[in-house]
Structure 1
Amino acid sequence: MTQRTAIVTGAARGIGAAVAQRLASDGLQVAVIDLDESACASTVEAITSAGGKTIAVGADVSDEESVKKAVQRVADELGAPTVLINNAGILRDNLLFKMSVDDWDMVMGVHLRGSFLMARETQSHMTKEGFGRIVNLSSSSALGNRGQANYSAAKAGLQGFTKTLAIELGKFGVTCNAIAPGFIATDMTAATAERVGVPFDDFMKGAADATAVKKVGRPDDIANAASFFCDERSGYVSGQVLYVAGGPLN
């Protein structure tokens, strides 16, 4: 197979780091993007020590010029990026009556605007190559979650965005799918536990008890799903939202 170049945003840690490492093990060159380039060092080290090829790129995905420069750098140093994982995200949780406009705008900016900018900037490489894979990270919170009006709205929006890109780009050999994780043990969920004043172990136990499989997810669970969607053999799967959540969700 042709060696492909992937971009993974928010790849300094957690789900993004796991996805980047998995795609590298699948044989892709991987650009590790995060707001702070130096924060990507551990992900880059994990990939290169395993024999993969990668670069770290600092970029603000919510900023148009930053995205353009980042994608151009990837194209120059690794080749045309034809795989995109829109994983970058932030939390600004609060109940609606306490949520500020800045809290709303920042979450929308990173999740929705960022995914739009990254997809728009990389799609020209994909359509030119006649091959592309876009995977957007949604969330089970898209179904609604107390204290996350901004995050839930952004993650639900990404599902509509995903389906529309699948329709628009399919004839060019580009698929677009979304992964909607349930509870995944990461720094982000640990921060949520701290915010609500619950010890993280207790927080995870409660989350595990709520699933059919009686356990919480790990970043590698999401990486496995991303690997499937990005595979060259998955070209007939597009516009789908896969809930990786330990059981069915209503």
Structure 2
Amino acid sequence: MTLTNLDELLGLKDRHVLITGAGGGIGRALIAAFTAAGAVVSGADQDRQSLEQVPLAHRLVFDLTNRRQVQEAVIGFITDHGTPDVLINNAGFTRGETLDQVDGDVWEREVAINLNGAFHITAPIVDAMCKRNSGNIVFISSVNALSHFGNPAYSAAKAGLISYVKALAVERGRYGIRANAICPGSVRTPAWNHRLQKRPELLGQVLPHYPLGRMVTPEEVAQATLFLASSAASGITGTALAVDAGLTAGNLRFINDVLAGDN
């Protein structure tokens, strides 16, 4: 396939893409992937300094937990730069709690960032997309939305994103809107570095759960997101795609620990 044909297949050349959480590990991989596909990429994050280090057409800074700040920033962005063709809701946060560690404050903060914040960004953009009769939204959810792997508040919020995806797909499809979700497993971003410094043995405990024997990379998450945002996925909406090195396909650890010894 030639580069020209690939551009036609993806349909992202000169399209305006807005990525939240743009300063993080997955965010930077998303920027690189969409820029390579010829898109005009803008980014949003809570930290302006992290955005200055990546190539972006426009930069938005806001706190996802501040509803008014988010809506003012998004509406101002649309007024100044037009409605993006693609919105990638990538921003998220968790501290890795078990249920015993979740109190009201933890629950409210994680839901505010991972679910409510995504809604406040998306709603005005979808309204503008509907007026134009075209648009595409991809949410970065999590395997935690599909099964329980800890992080109860985060998991509930990420599961809520999938329900929101389905609502958008069903009720806004008539306006040419597509909405989908990516559900990554553990992603080897710099966020793991401090955990591995404290517990070098942790990686050896994590990897046996993954059929591919490794975590997924930010680039693999970005490539799957690029596909769902592209014209190559023009018939796909309301879907949650696991990008998880096989984690949700089945319980490899159970097979190895319980069944393999019987053979």
TM over 0.5: yes
Residue 65 (structure 1) aligns with: 68
Residue 178 (structure 2) aligns with: 175
Residue 3 (structure 2) aligns with: none
Cα distance, 1:192–1:175 mapped onto 2, change above 3 Å: farther
Residue 219 (structure 2) aligns with: 220
Residue 12 (structure 1) aligns with: 23
The answer to whether residue 54 in structure 2 is matched with residue 43 in structure 1 is yes
Cα distance, 1:94–1:208 mapped onto 2, change above 3 Å: closer
Alignment of 1:27-106 (within 5 A): 27-44=38-55, 54-106=57-109
Which residue identity lines up with residue 178 of structure 1 in the other structure? A
Give a deviation string over 1:189-218, Cα, whole Å, max 9, x none: 345556xx522xx43343333222222211
Residue 189 (structure 2) aligns with: 186
Shift of 1:139: 0.8
CA-atom RMSD in angstroms: 2.0
The answer to whether residue 199 in structure 2 is matched with residue 198 in structure 1 is yes
When normalised by structure 1's length, the TM-score is: 0.87
Larger Rg: 2
Residue 239 (structure 1) aligns with: 238
For structure 2, which runs of at least 5 residues remain unmatched after alignment? 1-10, 251-263
How many residue pairs were aligned? 237
Determine the C-alpha separation between the residues in 1 that align with 2:168 and 2:60: 25
The answer to whether residue 214 in structure 2 is matched with residue 210 in structure 1 is no
Identity %: 29
Shift of 1:76: 4.3
Which residue identity lines up with residue 32 of structure 1 in the other structure? G
Shift of 1:92: 3.0
SS, match of residue 7 in structure 1: strand
Shift of 1:125: 2.2
SS, match of residue 186 in structure 2: coil
Give a deviation string over 1:220-241, Cα, whole Å, max 9, x none: 0010011001113422100111
Shift of 1:72: 3.1
SS, match of residue 237 in structure 1: coil
Q: Contact 1:82 / 1:122 at 8 angstroms: preserved in 2?
A: no
